Amino acid sequence: MAGKALAALIIVMAAVIGMGIGAAGAGVAKLYVLDCGQNLGKDQSRWSPGVNEGKPIEFSDNCYLIRHDKGLLLWDTGIPDSVAAMPDGMVVANGAITYRRSKTLAAQLEQIGVKPGDVTYLAVSHTHGDHVGNVALFPTSTVLIQGAEYDWAMAGPAKPGFVATQKIERLAGDREVFGDGTVKIISTPGHTPGHQSLLVQLPKTGWLLLSGDAVHFQDNWTHKRVPSMNFNRDQTLVSLKRIEGLLEERKAQLWINHDKTQSATLRYAPAFYE
Q: Using the minimum distance from each CB to Zn ion, give the nearer residue, 81 or 213.
A: 213
CB of 81 or CB of 130, closer to Zn ion: 130
- 3-state DSSP assignment of residue 76: coil
Q: Min. distance of Cβ 55 from Zn ion in angstroms?
A: 19
Task: State the Cα–Cα distance between residues 134 and 127, nearest whole angstrom.
Answer: 11
Q: Does 81 bind Zn ion (CB under 5 A)?
A: no
Site size toward Zn ion (CB under 5 A) is 2
Residue 59 Cβ vs Zn ion, minimum distance, rounded to whole Å: 7
Nearest by Cα to 195 from 210, 180, 179: 210
Least distance from Zn ion to the Cβ atom of residue 72, Å: 22
Interface of this chain with Zn ion, residues 197 to 226, rule: CB under 5 A: 213
CA atoms within 13 A on the CB side of 154: 11
Provide, rounded to whole angstroms, the least separation between the CB of residue 159 and Zn ion.
17
CB of 166 to Zn ion, least distance (A): 21
What minimum distance in Å lies between the beta carbon of 13 and Zn ion? Answer: 48
Stretch that binds Zn ion, among 50-58, 115-123, 130-138, 162-170 (CB under 5 A): 130-138
* DSSP string across 215-271: S-SHHHHHHT---TT-S-HHHHHHHHHHHHHHHHHHT-EEE-TT-HHHHTTSPPTTS
* Closest residue by Cα to residue 208 from 52, 30, 34: 30
Q: Which amino acid is present at 169?
A: E
Between the alpha carbon of residue 198 and those of residues 6, 82, 206, 255, the distances in Å are 42, 27, 14, 10
Distance of alpha carbon 113 from alpha carbon 228, whole angstroms: 41
Beta carbons within 10 angstroms of residue 230's beta carbon: 19
The reply to whether 259 sits near Zn ion by the rule CB under 5 A is no
Q: Does 130 bind Zn ion (CB under 5 A)?
A: yes
Choose between 171 and 215: whose C-beta lies nearer to Zn ion: 215
Q: Which is nearer to Zn ion, 27 or 78 (CB)?
A: 78
Nearer to Zn ion, 70 or 101 (CB): 101
Residue 4, φ and ψ in degrees, nearest 5: -65, -45
| CB nearer to Zn ion: pick between 116 and 129 | 129
Amino acid identity of residue 141, one-letter, is S
**79 vs 185, which CB is nearer to Zn ion?**
79
Q: Give the interface segment with Zn ion, choosing from 28-36, 86-94, 109-117, 129-137 (CB under 5 A).
A: 129-137
Binding site for Zn ion (CB under 5 A): 130, 213
